[in-house]
């Protein structure tokens, strides 16, 4: 025998097989394993003579050998595996692993070809795991994983299922926890290999290695024995990395798939009957790779639906197997790709098998199963929702909403699982939009989005006061915070989707933001794990692109229909009248009857019965049409009445029952003319059956009716004759054994409201299913009928036109979503912010407010936007600073952020924000100890000034008696948010303790610096044209409220107005003009204030603006300077204050004399001010004005008519007014002299005016007599018109002199 280095000869197979065969020979028991030893020696001898052939035998299982040689050398390995002896099995398994991992084996291993040597080896490997040694178990797992991973071998059919079952067995009964975790990991890796290949339909694919720690997320953490996870991860990674070989492409070739017979039932027996229904599209063209994936998926679904028997209800092994199958299905769905959407067969597999599995397991109370179901459902929702619209519409209420809406007695772990799932859903903006569009806007679907939001609100508010709950205080707080986080995630996703659509440009923007976009750049929605959204991956599904208008109609139709149904459930006749009036149903009795019979809209069955029993003419005709719509032909009387009563509950009034039963009897006899002598017989018998049903199945009835009693009660009813006793006896047995009840009758009592809601959503059977009282793992039993009914719902919904999956890119849909969610969100955020001091919770709420303001503001939803902004403003507590906490300071920061981020869309809401900024500044002013504005703006009063204490800083506040400081007391006392001045409307004493709280809270406000405050105002330069006008309007309102404060007038907003006007002075004329219209009215109203210091301050502010504005040059024929200076004119004419009028004259004088070269159209306002001053009652004002007029006329006369010659007439009128001065004759005489001066200038042609013929309007010409002959008549007329006021003034002066 050769040394170990040369064992097996020169061939590649020999180098692998030789050492292993030699080791088998050494480890074998010679007497017991003589055949094995002999076979090994023969194989070694054979290998010594073999070399790798150049031409590969396509039918050979080993690379480089012929088929016969390959079978000969593999036979010892098969014998060793079958020897049931660990010492020989171990080298055989090692050899088999190398053959697969090195790519030496090749071909197809199928259970249908059971005489294949490779099939026998794999089967033996599966069996050898039962020897009972830990090392052998791991070696078996290693071989099986390498066999499935090998790209040269395709293990399929029953052989593949056998491999999976072997791994299952090791997991369920492994010798230690590490082996069980390894088995679970190998199973997950095998399923990943199978379905990754099925996705690409190729053996040549890159396969991801599973994460062992992720597999232990929900279960089997108890199996971890220290380093088990690390060991198992290395185990799987080594096998995956050891795989070599060239992929065999022939396995990807298409072939005709025959319909499977029970899909591998030989491997796992006892499948549920529901699984044996005909598979849609199970035949046709596929590939072997994809067929294997289909078989594995189908059988995993079957295994997940196995339930314990009544004999052994606590079968933990079966429960573990069920849980493992769900975990593997989770791996498949989590890694699933386009094949599950594009391939009809795989999509139908989800609908037919996986959905049925979720349906059946939904009734179990095992936590791990519920978590796995939720995880699988999340994958379906994220990736495959476009093809599973009806199924998701059923499972969402069943799995998620049922738990979410249970506020009083929920399972903590279940509800936390649901809240975590909703948080993930909320993080995907497209899912949120799609849910609303496809369910809340679909008449035949539940309002999932609305119920999510309302359920989260209920959870955020906690159990109602006085109610009994199983939750601890910590659990309740946890639920509240998590639900708020979900609501924040939802509104954030809505905003992110809106921003994304606006950025893409696929939507029509509302008018409020046509020209500008929000300054904040929100991040685009990202999908977990980097997967592409379902709508992008699969556009070819039955999805339709819908616009907001279409969805609005559908949503409105649904809401109106629900309103009609709600009305019907209170007053049936009113409800029918409303539904007919709104054209939700036709006005014929037949159409109304059809609506009642189908009852897909949540009608209350009791109310249906009441309506059918009414005696009004229309209701009677509807009842007749309702009964006539039934076909009782060839139907037994008992079955007919049962079939008839399944859609409504008989009314309690005997006359109503009489009318219904009378019509039923007539219809039954018409369908079965030979059944009874007359309809009277059927009528009486129907009554008897109803009475028997009540008697037999009502627990309140003690003495039950016997069969003989029933027969005796019905003697002589057939036209005086008796019905056969056998017939009546059989009818009695039928009713007693099987109660007549409606389809919707539930096994657990529910409130009327819940019944109505469940019927509306089509969930009666499902609620019955999940509410079935059972122990942890008992089978559902009678619920098989309910499961079939729900399957029928799936099929019925999939056939409707409404089942089309709708995609939408029009952001207008957000309006309807906000209508649904803004109220619950406002309540949840407000209550949590008010009641909780937890920094994390309050921060979440404030983020929610910010996102809500963003969405509502951009969408132009004024009411909702103002509600959110007002709430945040109130939570700043700036109106009662003594009660402030850290969360209130955070609210201040949120207000500032809202102003910066969404300023373009705040409109009227700016007033709330600017009010908050004003109050912050006031508090900071008090904290710094600076003098208050009141000391500058109050009317001087020496006595008061002496008594009032000086303002003090924080350190001084702590040391001195501050109860006498009215400014501090007003703020400490506080007031309502809406009060114009804080503390004005409040009364009562202020304690030193309150003052101490206030002083401490001033330190909190140090977090808000001057930079943050000023940033809002400096940022106004970036506001769009609509927003800056709204901003100025709001700031004017706030400034007026500050200045009009009776106790503490302030000028903060007024100074900011001047700043804003300065910041925005470079805007285009149209925008600046609109801004100035607002500012002008403000300056006029405040300038006429009775509070003189306030009015003086305002006029000085206006002067500052005017001086700044006059630095800008104005072109000819514009009138904006005149508009800008008009407030001076109006106040000069209307003010009763001498000081104000004198100040205006001084301001105008200063402006004109310092900016004379820039004054153009402003001359008109200047002369109007001086004209008013000329008629003033005070001499000093007249003299002051005339002094300036004198300087203007003497030194700057050419500038008066530089751009607009009509200002000359204004100048003349002003001088004429001065000629009438009653205070000083010198003024009148000088005015007359100036008029003469103007006449001379005019006569000499020295009047300068704009040259109308110039192209650019900037050149000027001098009118003189030398070229007057070349003027047109129009120019002569214009020139002559300047003489009119001048001559009129001369005549007037002459007349006064004569008098």
pLDDT digits (tens, 9 = 90+) for 1007-1064: 787 788 888 898 888 999 999 999 999 999 998 888 877 777 888 888 888 888 888 8
Query: How many CB atoms lie under 10 A from the CB of residue 277?
Result: 10
- Rounded Cα gap, residues 1097 and 1095, in angstroms: 5
Q: Which residues contact 252 (CB under 8 A, 6 or more apart)?
A: 201, 202, 203, 287, 289
Residue 1260 scores a pLDDT above 50: no
459-475 average pLDDT score: 88
Residue 491 Cα to chain centre, angstroms: 5
Lowest mean pLDDT among 430-439, 606-615, 763-772: 763-772
893-898 average pLDDT score: 92
Query: How many CB atoms lie under 10 A from the CB of residue 5?
Result: 8
State whether residue 1154 is helix, strand or coil.
helix
Q: Over the Cα atoms of the chain, what is R_g?
A: 46
Task: Tell me what pLDDT residue 540 has.
Answer: 38
1195 versus 752: the higher-pLDDT residue is: 1195
| Strand partners for 546 | 808
Task: Tell me what pLDDT residue 415 has.
Answer: 93
Strand-pair category, 1248-1250 with 1260-1262: antiparallel
Rounded to 5°, the CA angle 945-951-952 comes to 145
Task: Tell me what pLDDT residue 600 has.
Answer: 66
Task: Tell me what pLDDT residue 141 has.
Answer: 94
Residue 1267 scores a pLDDT above 80: no
490 — pLDDT class (breaks 50, 70, 90)? very high
Residue 822 scores a pLDDT above 80: yes
Task: Tell me what pLDDT residue 771 has.
Answer: 38
Contact 1048, 1023 (CB under 8 A): no
Residue 768 scores a pLDDT above 70: no
546 versus 915: the higher-pLDDT residue is: 915
874-894 average pLDDT score: 85
Residue where the block lists tokens 């969805």: 551
- Rounded Cα gap, residues 204 and 197, in angstroms: 8
1268: its two tokens: 């007057």
Torsion of CA 267, 268, 272, 273, to 10 degrees: 20
Question: What is the torsional sign of CA 68, 71, 74, 75?
Answer: negative
Q: Which residues contact 1218 (CB under 8 A, 6 or more apart)?
A: 1174, 1182, 1185, 1186, 1189, 1227, 1228, 1230, 1231
Query: How many CB atoms lie under 10 A from the CB of residue 283?
Result: 13
883: its two tokens: 């009660």
606 versus 488: the higher-pLDDT residue is: 488
832-843 average pLDDT score: 91
Task: Tell me what pLDDT residue 1273 has.
Answer: 36
Task: Tell me what pLDDT residue 63 has.
Answer: 84
Strand-pair category, 254-257 with 284-287: antiparallel
112 versus 968: the higher-pLDDT residue is: 112
State whether residue 107 is helix, strand or coil.
strand
Residue 260 scores a pLDDT above 70: no
Residue 347 scores a pLDDT above 60: yes
Task: Tell me what pLDDT residue 410 has.
Answer: 87
1289 versus 79: the higher-pLDDT residue is: 79
Task: Tell me what pLDDT residue 1118 has.
Answer: 64
How does pLDDT run across 934-952, given as a tens digit for each residue? 655 555 444 444 444 444 4
Task: Tell me what pLDDT residue 94 has.
Answer: 93
- Rounded Cα gap, residues 962 and 971, in angstroms: 12
Residue 1208 scores a pLDDT above 50: yes
1218 — pLDDT class (breaks 50, 70, 90)? confident
Task: Tell me what pLDDT residue 844 has.
Answer: 94
Report which of 748, 1001, 750 is spatially closest to residue 885, judged by C-alpha positions.
1001
Task: Tell me what pLDDT residue 380 has.
Answer: 92
How does pLDDT run across 173-194, given as a tens digit for each residue? 888 888 999 999 999 999 999 9
- The highest-confidence range among 1124-1128, 1151-1155, 1245-1249, by mean pLDDT, is 1124-1128
806-828 average pLDDT score: 90
Report which of 762, 770, 771, 758 is spatially closest to residue 789, judged by C-alpha positions.
762
Contact 128, 136 (CB under 8 A): yes
Lowest mean pLDDT among 370-374, 512-516, 772-776, 1129-1133: 772-776
- The highest-confidence range among 84-88, 142-146, 810-814, by mean pLDDT, is 142-146
Task: Tell me what pLDDT residue 1014 has.
Answer: 86
1070: its two tokens: 């149209």
State the catalytic residues.
653
Contact 140, 128 (CB under 8 A): yes
Task: Tell me what pLDDT residue 264 has.
Answer: 39
Task: Tell me what pLDDT residue 1041 has.
Answer: 87
Task: Tell me what pLDDT residue 1145 has.
Answer: 84
Lowest mean pLDDT among 425-429, 753-757, 824-828, 896-900: 753-757
Helix (H) or strand (E) holding 637: helix 637-644
- The highest-confidence range among 343-347, 485-489, 598-602, 901-905, by mean pLDDT, is 485-489
- Rounded Cα gap, residues 444 and 447, in angstroms: 10
- Rounded Cα gap, residues 718 and 708, in angstroms: 18
Residue 2 scores a pLDDT above 70: no
Task: Tell me what pLDDT residue 958 has.
Answer: 42
Contact 181, 224 (CB under 8 A): yes
1234 — pLDDT class (breaks 50, 70, 90)? low
Residue 1078 scores a pLDDT above 50: yes
pLDDT averaged over every residue in the chain: 77
End-to-end Cα, the chain, rounded Å: 156
Task: Tell me what pLDDT residue 265 has.
Answer: 36
Helix (H) or strand (E) holding 256: strand 254-257
Residue 552 scores a pLDDT above 80: no
623-643 average pLDDT score: 89
996-1000 average pLDDT score: 70
1243 — pLDDT class (breaks 50, 70, 90)? low
1154 — pLDDT class (breaks 50, 70, 90)? confident
Q: How far is CA 1280 from CA 1013, 1275, 1285, in A?
A: 58, 8, 10
Q: How far is CA 376 from CA 259, 333, 384, 625, 836, in A?
A: 27, 7, 11, 46, 35
445-471 average pLDDT score: 90
Task: Tell me what pLDDT residue 1286 has.
Answer: 53
Q: Helical H runs in 1110-1243?
A: 1120-1134, 1138-1154, 1163-1174, 1179-1195, 1197-1200, 1207-1219, 1225-1243
Task: Tell me what pLDDT residue 376 has.
Answer: 93
Residue 1284 scores a pLDDT above 60: no
- Rounded Cα gap, residues 382 and 494, in angstroms: 17
- Rounded Cα gap, residues 1197 and 595, in angstroms: 90
Residue 249 scores a pLDDT above 90: no
Task: Tell me what pLDDT residue 747 has.
Answer: 34
954 — pLDDT class (breaks 50, 70, 90)? very low
- Rounded Cα gap, residues 1193 and 1156, in angstroms: 12
Task: Tell me what pLDDT residue 962 has.
Answer: 46
Residue 129 scores a pLDDT above 70: yes
Task: Tell me what pLDDT residue 583 has.
Answer: 85
DSSP structural state of residue 1067: S
Percent of the chain with pLDDT over 70: 74
Task: Tell me what pLDDT residue 432 has.
Answer: 93
Query: How many CB atoms lie under 10 A from the CB of residue 1148?
Result: 26
301-315 average pLDDT score: 76
475-497 average pLDDT score: 94
- Rounded Cα gap, residues 853 and 843, in angstroms: 15
- Rounded Cα gap, residues 286 and 1268, in angstroms: 102
Q: How far is CA 346 from CA 259, 373, 388, 847, 1166, in A?
A: 14, 19, 12, 42, 85
């Amino acid at each position: 025998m050769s040394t170990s280095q040369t064992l097996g000869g020169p061939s590649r197979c020999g180098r692998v097989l030789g050492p292993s065969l030699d080791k088998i020979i050494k480890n074998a028991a010679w007497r017991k394993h003589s055949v094995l030893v002999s076979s090994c020696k023969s194989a070694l001898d054979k290998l010594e003579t073999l070399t790798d052939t150049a031409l590969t035998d396509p039918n050979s299982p080993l690379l480089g050998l012929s088929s016969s040689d390959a079978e000969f050398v593999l036979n010892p390995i098969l014998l060793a595996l079958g020897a049931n002896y660990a010492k020989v099995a171990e080298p055989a398994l090692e050899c088999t692993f190398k053959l697969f991992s090195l790519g030496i084996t090749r071909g197809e291993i199928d259970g249908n070809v059971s005489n294949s040597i490779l099939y026998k080896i794999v089967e033996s490997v599966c069996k050898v795991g039962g020897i009972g040694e830990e090392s052998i178990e791991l070696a078996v797992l290693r071989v099986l994983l390498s066999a499935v991973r090998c790209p040269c071998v395709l293990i399929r059919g029953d052989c593949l299922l056998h491999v999976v079952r072997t791994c299952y067995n090791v997991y369920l009964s492994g010798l230690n926890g590490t082996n069980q975790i390894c088995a679970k990991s190998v199973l997950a890796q095998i399923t990943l290999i199978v379905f990754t290949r099925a996705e690409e339909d190729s053996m040549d694919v890159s396969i991801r290695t599973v994460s062992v720690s992720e597999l232990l997320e929900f279960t089997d953490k108890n199996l971890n024995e220290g380093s088990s996870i690390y060991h198992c991860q290395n185990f799987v990674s080594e096998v995956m990395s050891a795989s070599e070989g060239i992929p065999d492409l022939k396995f990807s070739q298409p072939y005709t798939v025959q319909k499977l017979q029970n899909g591998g039932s030989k491997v796992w027996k006892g499948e549920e009957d529901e699984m044996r229904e005909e598979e849609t599209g199970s035949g046709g063209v596929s590939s072997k790779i994809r067929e294997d994936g289909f078989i594995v998926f189908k059988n995993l679904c079957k295994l997940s639906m196995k339930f314990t028997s009544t004999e052994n209800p606590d079968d933990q092994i079966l429960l573990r197997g069920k849980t493992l199958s769900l975990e593997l299905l989770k791996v498949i769905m989590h890694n699933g790709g386009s094949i599950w959407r594009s391939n009809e067969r795989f999509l139908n597999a989800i609908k037919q098998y996986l959905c049925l599995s979720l349906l059946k397991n939904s009734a179990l109370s095992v936590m791990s199963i519920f978590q796995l179901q939720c995880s699988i459902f999340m994958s379906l929702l994220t990736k495959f929702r476009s093809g599973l619209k009806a199924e998701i519409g059923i499972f969402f209420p069943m799995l998620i909403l049922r738990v979410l809406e249970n506020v009083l007695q929920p399972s903590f772990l279940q509800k936390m699982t649901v809240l975590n799932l909703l948080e993930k859903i909320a993080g995907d903006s497209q899912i949120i939009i799609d849910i609303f569009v496809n369910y809340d806007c679909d008449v035949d679907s539940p309002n999932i989005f609305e119920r999510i939001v309302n359920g989260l609100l209920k959870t955020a508010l906690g159990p109602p006061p006085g109610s009994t709950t199983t939750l601890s205080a910590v659990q309740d707080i946890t639920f509240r915070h998590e639900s708020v986080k979900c609501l924040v995630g939802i509104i954030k996703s809505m905003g992110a989707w809106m921003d994304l659509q606006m950025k893409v440009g696929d939507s029509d923007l509302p008018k409020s933001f046509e020209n500008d976009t929000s300054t904040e750049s929100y991040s685009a929605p990202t999908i977990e794990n980097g997967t592409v959204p379902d709508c992008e991956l699969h556009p070819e599904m039955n999805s339709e692109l819908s616009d907001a208008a279409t969805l609005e109609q559908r949503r409105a139709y649904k809401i109106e229909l629900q309103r009609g149904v709600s009305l019907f459930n209170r007053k049936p006749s009113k409800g029918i009248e409303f539904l007919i009036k709104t054209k939700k149903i036709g006005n014929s009795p037949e159409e109304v009857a059809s609506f009642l019979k189908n009852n897909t809209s949540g009608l209350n069955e009791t109310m249906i019965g009441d309506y059918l029993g009414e005696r009004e003419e229309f209701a009677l005709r509807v009842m007749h049409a309702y009964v006539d719509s039934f076909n009782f032909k060839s139907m037994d009387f008992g079955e007919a009445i049962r079939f008839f009563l399944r859609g409504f509950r008989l009314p309690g009034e005997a006359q109503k029952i009489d009318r219904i039963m009378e019509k039923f009897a007539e219809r039954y006899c018409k369908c079965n003319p030979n059944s009874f002598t007359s309809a009277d017989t059927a009528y009486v018998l129907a009554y008897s059956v109803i009475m028997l049903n009540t008697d037999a199945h009502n627990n309140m009835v003690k003495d039950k009716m016997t069969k003989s009693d029933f027969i005796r009660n019905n003697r002589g009813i057939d036209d005086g004759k008796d019905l056969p006793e056998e017939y009546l006896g059989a009818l009695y047995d039928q009713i007693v054994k099987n109660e007549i009840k409606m389809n919707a009758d539930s096994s657990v009592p529910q409130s009327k409201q819940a019944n109505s809601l469940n019927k509306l959503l089509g969930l009666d059977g499902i609620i019955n299913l999940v509410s079935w009282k059972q122990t942890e793992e008992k089978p559902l039993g009678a619920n098989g009928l309910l499961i079939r009914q729900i399957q029928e719902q799936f099929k019925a919904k999939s056939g409707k036109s409404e089942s089309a999956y709708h995609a939408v890119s029009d952001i207008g849909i957000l309006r309807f979503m906000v209508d649904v969610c803004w109220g619950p969100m406002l309540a949840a955020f407000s209550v949590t912010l008010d009641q909780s001091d937890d920094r994390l919770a309050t921060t979440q709420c404030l983020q929610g407010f910010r996102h809500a303001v963003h969405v509502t503001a951009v969408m132009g939803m004024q009411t909702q936007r103002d509600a959110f902004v007002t709430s945040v403003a109130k939570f700043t507590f700036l109106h009662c600073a003594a009660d402030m906490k850290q969360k209130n300071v955070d609210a201040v920061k949120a207000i500032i952020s809202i102003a910066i981020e969404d300023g373009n869309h705040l409109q009227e809401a700016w007033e709330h924000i600017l009010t908050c900024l004003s109050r912050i500044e006031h508090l900071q002013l008090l904290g710094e100890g600076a003098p208050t504005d009141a000391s500058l703006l109050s009317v001087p009063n020496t006595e008061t000034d002496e008594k009032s204490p000086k303002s003090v800083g924080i350190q001084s506040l702590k040391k001195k008696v501050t109860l006498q400081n009215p400014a501090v007391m007003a703020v400490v006392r506080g007031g309502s948010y809406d009060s114009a001045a804080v503390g004005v409307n409040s009364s009562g004493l202020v304690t030193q303790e309150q003052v101490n709280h206030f002083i401490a809270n001033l330190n909190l406000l140090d977090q808000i610096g001057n930079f943050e405050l000023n940033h809002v105002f400096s940022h106004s330069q970036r506001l769009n044209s609509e927003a800056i006008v709204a901003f100025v309007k709001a700031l004017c309102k706030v400034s007026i409220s500050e200045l009009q404060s009776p106790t503490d007038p302030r000028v903060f907003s007024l100074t900011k107005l001047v700043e804003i006007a300065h910041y925005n002075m470079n805007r285009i004329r149209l925008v600046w003009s609109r801004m100035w219209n607002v500012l002008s009215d403000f300056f006029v109203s405040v300038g006429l204030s009775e509070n003189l210091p306030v009015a003086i301050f305002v006029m000085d502010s206006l002067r500052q603006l005017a001086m700044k504005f006059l630095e800008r040059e104005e072109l000819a024929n514009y009138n904006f300077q005149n508009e800008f200076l008009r407030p001076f004119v109006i106040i000069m004419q209307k003010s009763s204050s001498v000081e104000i009028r004198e100040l205006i004259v001084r301001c105008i004088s200063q402006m004109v004399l310092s900016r004379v070269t820039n004054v153009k159209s402003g001359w008109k306002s200047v002369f109007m001010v001086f004209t008013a001053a000329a008629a003033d009652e005070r001499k000093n004002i007249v003299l002051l004005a005339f002094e300036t007029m004198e300087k203007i006329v003497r030194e700057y006369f050419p500038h008066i008519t530089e751009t607009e010659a009509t200002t000359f007439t204004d100048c003349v009128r002003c001088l004429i007014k001065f000629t009438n001065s009653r205070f000083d004759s010198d003024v009148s005489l000088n005015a007359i002299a100036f008029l003469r001066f103007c006449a001379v200038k005019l006569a000499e042609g020295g009047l300068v005016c704009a040259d109308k013929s110039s192209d650019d309007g900037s050149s000027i010409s001098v009118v003189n007599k030398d070229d007057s002959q070349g003027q047109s008549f129009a120019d002569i007329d214009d020139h002559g018109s300047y003489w009119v006021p001048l001559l009129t003034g001369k005549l007037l002066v002459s007349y006064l002199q004569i008098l």
